[in-house]
Amino acid sequence: MAFTLADRSQSIVRSPTVHADTLSSRRGFVPSSSVRRLSRALRPLLMRAFLVVLTVVAIAAPRMAAQKVELSIDASKPGAKIDRNLFGQFAEHLGHGIYDGIWVGSDSTIPNTRGIRNDVVAALKAIHVPNVRWPGGCFADGYHWRDGIGPQRVVRLNPDWGGVIEPNAFGTHEFMDFIDQIGSEAYVSVNVGSGTVHEASDWLEYMTAAQATTLEKERAANGHPAPYKVALLGLGNESWDCGGNMTPEYYLDRMKRFSHFVRNYNPAQMEKDQMLKIAVGPGGGEQRWTDWTETVMKAYQQHTWSWDINGLSMHSYTVVKWPPAFKSVGFGEDEYAQILKTTLEMDDLIKKHSAIMEKYDPQKKVALVVDEWGGWYAPLPGSNPGFLVQQNSLRDAILAALNINIFARHADRVRGANIAQMINVLQAMILTDHEKMVLTPTYYVYKMYVPFQDSTFVPVSFDAGSYKHNDFTLPRIDAMAAKGKDGKLWVEITNVDPQHAAEVELNVTGINAKSASGETLTAPKVDSVNTFEAPNNVVPNTISARAQGSKLILQLEPKSVTVISVEQ
């Protein structure tokens, strides 16, 4: 189905809230002096009427008492490192994830640096993106890197995602430039499905060789004499499905060859900063997936010098059922509760696959890397279904916080995660439409969590209580704490309950906690979203705790995500 940018701008949901002053100035409306006099005279009357209405509403509204929660944090018992790579992003050649989202070309009127949008770069820099997984996803197993280098790009179709033209204007050099501009690292997925070991091995030599090989010279001639750093290497993507529909045994045979021959030659990555190789892992919890993990991990236990892996990928989206039918905006508490209940299944999934990994790798050398996760909803009406366009609401912010906390609690094994996807696709950080850009509620969660990157987990104990809605019961409160690289104690608390505020009593041992302050993210409705016209519907506000003896007391809004640092 053909899909133009104009169609797409219609498809982005816009807030019906347009301020009166904006409307009048847009229409060139200037009130006459008699109208102004009349409005001055009416003002006190109107104000009185407004106060009466407010009082009536306040009396009539049911008083939802704040639920008390005690949180005990023992800062003297540090746990695992919360790897910054848990905050990784994913950018696939899919819909407007790359084209329009990142790449506009250097001729564009949209401010850019060598074709890469300046507004997007500035926004991403602020969330300290540790790595970006590219070029897919399913796209990666049909990608041929030579199509995207040099002055003459090969124009192809993108059969996985809408069958649209893939101009290959954004290739290796553009990706590496983008990574550099946002201060991140490359997680490159090589084509195991339709490519060859030779092709992938050449790509790595092209990117990383420092000596004067033919490929190194070609890279230099294309504008980059210095070798690129490839921090992470994906050995295929979903090879059990869009990546070639392989059995675990067949994948294993193939993967070993890629692991051996696809080498990184960057001298800076020889001793330290070695490239981490991530094998394809499970996509769910059923036997098909546990068999997959068993097969790869059992082989790993017996691996020889000639092949190795450092991570096993896992993909798990919050969908409820396929095809994704839940709305990304315009939903109520039912869908809120059901989606959040479903997203908590991530914990069991990690436990299940970690247990298998533990059998074959008790030293935890192989990380579990959840390199595709997030809420996957029905495409926005009017959008190309192959472009996976959805809005991003307060519910998604809460979903993100719950998942990040799950990853952090398993930080000894889960050392990487990539939310899907960074811009304009699925649970995005950023939405763009031509020159417009808006930051989503999920973006703000990532910003609030920056202090947790490379922090050290600290245990928190609390009675979460429960939030019940119709058939769904889930923990009312979630919390996570860590000692940041800055030496401070950082605490995250999510109040899942959309009806009740929470009064949190923080008891911190191991440090002398004097005060705490930070940011909290909430909004009027569970499906509140930011739009191009109203970008500040869901943005963080400051929050602070009051000291009460040796405790700190914090008032949390219903349906909120809060991150505070504790001062000693």
Q: Which of 216, 238, 335, 557 is catalytic?
A: 238
By CB under 6 A, residue 185 contacts ligand AHR: no
In the complex, the smallest distance separating the C-beta of residue 373 from ligand AHR, rounded to whole angstroms, is 10
Q: Binding-site residue total for ligand AHR (CB under 6 A)?
A: 10
By CB under 6 A, residue 238 contacts ligand AHR: yes
By CB under 6 A, residue 423 contacts ligand AHR: no
By CB under 6 A, residue 137 contacts ligand AHR: yes
Which residues within the stretch 83-112 sit at the binding site for ligand AHR (CB under 6 A)? 92
* DSSP labels, 87-127: GEEE--SSTTSSBTTTB--TT-SS-EETTEEHHHHHHHHTT
Cβ nearer to ligand AHR, comparing 315 with 469: 315
Three-class DSSP category at 532:
coil
By CB under 6 A, residue 138 contacts ligand AHR: yes
Q: Would you mind telling me the total number of residues written for the chain in this entry?
A: 568
User: Checking DSSP bridges between strand 88-90 and strand 131-134, what pairing results, if any?
Assistant: parallel
Cβ nearer to ligand AHR, comparing 91 with 545: 91
Go through 182-213 and write b for each residue having 16 or more CB atoms within 10 A of its CB, e for each that does not: bebbbbbbbbbbebebebbbbbbbbbbbeeee
Residue 172, token pair as written in the block? 């290796």
In the complex, the smallest distance separating the C-beta of residue 21 from ligand AHR, rounded to whole angstroms, is 41
Residue in 145, 161, 130, 308 with CA at minimum distance from that of residue 235: 308
Which residue in the shown chain puts its C-beta closest to ligand AHR? 137
**Greatest Cα pair distance in the chain:** 89
Residue 63, token pair as written in the block? 């008083």
C-alpha distance across the termini of the chain, in Å: 59
Residue in 79, 84, 175 with CA at minimum distance from that of residue 367: 84
Cβ nearer to ligand AHR, comparing 1 with 47: 1
3, 315, 463 from 386: Cα distances, Å: 10, 19, 43
Q: Is the sign of the CA dihedral 104, 108, 111, 116 positive or negative?
A: positive
372 flagged as catalytic: yes
Cβ nearer to ligand AHR, comparing 192 with 489: 192
By CB under 6 A, residue 120 contacts ligand AHR: no
What are the backbone angles phi and psi of residue 433, rounded to the nearest 5°? Answer: -150, 105
Cβ nearer to ligand AHR, comparing 104 with 138: 138
Instruction: Say how far apart CA 158 and CA 232 lie, in whole Å.
Output: 24
Instruction: Say how far apart CA 458 and CA 448 lie, in whole Å.
Output: 18
Cβ nearer to ligand AHR, comparing 136 with 171: 136
Instruction: Say how far apart CA 178 and CA 145 lie, in whole Å.
Output: 17
In the complex, the smallest distance separating the C-beta of residue 423 from ligand AHR, rounded to whole angstroms, is 13
In the complex, the smallest distance separating the C-beta of residue 8 from ligand AHR, rounded to whole angstroms, is 18
Cβ nearer to ligand AHR, comparing 353 with 476: 353
Amino acid type, 450:
V
Q: Which of 205, 372, 492, 557 is catalytic?
A: 372
Cβ nearer to ligand AHR, comparing 191 with 560: 191
In the complex, the smallest distance separating the C-beta of residue 372 from ligand AHR, rounded to whole angstroms, is 5
> CB under 6 A: which stretch of 1-9, 136-144, 187-195, 349-357 binds ligand AHR?
136-144
In the complex, the smallest distance separating the C-beta of residue 141 from ligand AHR, rounded to whole angstroms, is 9
Which residues within the stretch 367-386 sit at the binding site for ligand AHR (CB under 6 A)? 372
Helices 394-409/333-343 angle, 10° precision: 20
> CB under 6 A: which stretch of 27-35, 131-139, 206-214, 507-515 binds ligand AHR?
131-139
Stretch 383-422: interaction string toward ligand AHR, x if CB under 6 A:
-------------------------------------xx-
34, 304, 309, 443 from 271: Cα distances, Å: 79, 20, 17, 35
By CB under 6 A, residue 237 contacts ligand AHR: yes
> CB under 6 A: which stretch of 37-45, 132-140, 329-337, 429-437 binds ligand AHR?
132-140
Residues near ligand AHR (CB under 6 A): 92, 136-138, 237-238, 372, 420-421, 426
Residues noted as catalytic: 238, 372
